[in-house]
Amino acid sequence: MSPMQRYLEHPEDVLGQWLDWRRDGAVALIMVTTTEGGAVREAGALMAVTDESQAAGYISGGCIDADVILQAEAALKSGETMSLRYGAGSPFVDLPLPCGGAIEVTILPDADEATLRKCHDALAARRPARLALGGFDARYTPKLRLRIAGRGADPLALARLARASGVDAALQLRDGEDVQAALLEGFDTVNALDTPTDLPPLDDDPWTAFILMFHDGDWEAPLLRQALEGPAFYVGAVGSRRTHARRCDALREQGVAETDIARIHGPVGLIPSMRDASMLAVSTLGEIVATYHQTAKTPFAHTALMMLAAGASARFEEGDKLLAPYEGEPVISHAASLLEAEDAASRLAVIRPEAMKRASLLGQSWHIVENAEAASGQASSLRAGVEAARQDGRVQQVLVLLADMPAVPEHHLRKLQRAINTGATAAMTECGGKLMPPAIFTRKTFDALMQVEGDRGAKGVFTTLTNTATIVLDPALGIDIDTMDDLAKHQEALHA
């Protein structure tokens, strides 16, 4: 058992090892379900243990792992699920936790392979994933990834540090000597940059950090514009404060929006103006990791997802439009499944009292808000949802979804959230030149939203605000379902 295997950290890696071992025999899965105090790992941390004492992953700083492995072997022999508590309040008085806290774990001797594979495969495909086992529901985020573009010592130093930290890094290098050096050091993903007008295709995702490590004005603007058009959670650029100000001015002259320019970290790093490549790498990776945990790992932790589902379906010719089948599921189920693997502050569905069949399709993760005034128009549903959201002190913004918009992609919602994370007061969707939901509003706008009346939505409030953002959505994805003809045309367009 190698130390690297023993101390696997990310759920994707632990689950991958569990699946490999499962081909040869029984394997227990251990999941941290509760932590109190200064626990080393967070709830959801995983470990895999075979009946031959092989282990992958860890759940503490070494205080109790050996005992957990013994308990897992016993569970494999008995076939019984075990729930154990260590630390404060534990019956294992001979295994105190130096931190003074407590850890509770569940040992599953025969976890469902299909469930674990689904979670692993989603993470490997760089999608968020949920794992519901033994009464505990965990949400996981894909691994942090870096894309580093530059020349000289800086990008190679950062890539070395990332690799040593278990972080994947893709290099885009200008000079042939740098490309050869990176290949000789064993980096797998190395692309040569030829001309600023012919950049490699963008493959960033919401868990990618892009770092520009050029001191060359010809390359800065094209690479930064490309990164800002994508979903990367972090965009950073080396250079002094004066260099960064000049860089931002150049981007403004090229028409880049202020909300996008505000996304750029510059100068990069927790400690500005580092002069050595190795120390710049440490400073930069520290800032990236901090940003990853603040905005990429749980971007919706302070956001209430608010789905308005109280419409009367008056124009829909055959029953309730939200219950009509669309791509094999009711229309409402598509909106309800958005961001289901994300850890949101709350999920609120506003529904008219006489349409509770809609509620039955949503599952336990959605809290139902009944709107007895639904007949008065959409504003009453907006007010009911905002009032419910503002009662939760964790909620700092509401993301307004419409239940009759079944084709909105998750990446669009992430862009709206990102606008808030970079300082916007509110952000709305622009679709075919019109402002519409989905939309997101910070807590400071809640009082204004509570004043909306009639059949008006939040657009009236949005147009009175400053420091807002609009996020463009393809009209083919922004259609809402009001009539049978809408439904038929949209499904035809989708398949076309």
Yes or no: say if 153 and 170 are a contact pair by the CB < 8 Å rule: no
Place of tokens 């004005």: 217
CA distances from 317 to 462, 481, 485, 487, 492 (A): 33, 12, 9, 11, 19
CA distances from 386 to 214, 290, 295, 334, 391 (A): 46, 30, 23, 22, 9
Per-position pLDDT tens, the chain of length 496: 454 567 889 999 999 999 999 999 999 999 999 888 776 788 899 999 998 889 999 988 777 888 999 999 999 999 999 999 887 777 776 666 666 678 899 999 999 999 999 999 999 999 999 898 888 888 899 999 999 999 999 999 999 999 999 899 999 999 889 999 999 999 999 999 999 999 999 999 999 999 999 888 889 999 999 999 888 999 999 988 999 999 999 999 999 988 788 889 989 998 877 889 999 999 999 999 999 988 788 889 899 999 999 988 888 888 889 999 998 899 999 999 999 888 899 999 999 998 889 999 988 889 999 999 988 888 999 999 999 999 998 899 999 999 999 999 999 999 999 889 878 999 999 999 999 999 999 999 999 999 998 777 789 999 999 889 999 999 989 988 888 888 887 777 766 6
**Greatest CA span in the chain, whole angstroms?**
70
- The pLDDT of residue 448 is 94
CATH number (3.90.550.10, 3.20.20.140, 3.40.190.10, 3.40.50.720) of 303-495 reads 3.90.550.10
- The pLDDT of residue 33 is 92
Domain assignments of the chain as residue spans, ordered by start: 3-140, 145-296, 303-495
Cα–Cα distance, 496 to 475 (Å, whole number)? 15
Yes or no: say if 140 and 133 are a contact pair by the CB < 8 Å rule: no
- The pLDDT of residue 167 is 94
Nearest partner of 110 among 51, 30, 26, 49, judged by Cα: 26
- The pLDDT of residue 295 is 79
- The pLDDT of residue 310 is 92
- The pLDDT of residue 115 is 96
- The pLDDT of residue 367 is 95
Which fold is adopted by the domain 145-296?
Answer: Rossmann fold (3.40.50)
Cα–Cα distance, 410 to 206 (Å, whole number)? 11
Cα–Cα distance, 315 to 320 (Å, whole number)? 10
Query: pTM above the 0.75 mark?
Result: yes
- The pLDDT of residue 94 is 60
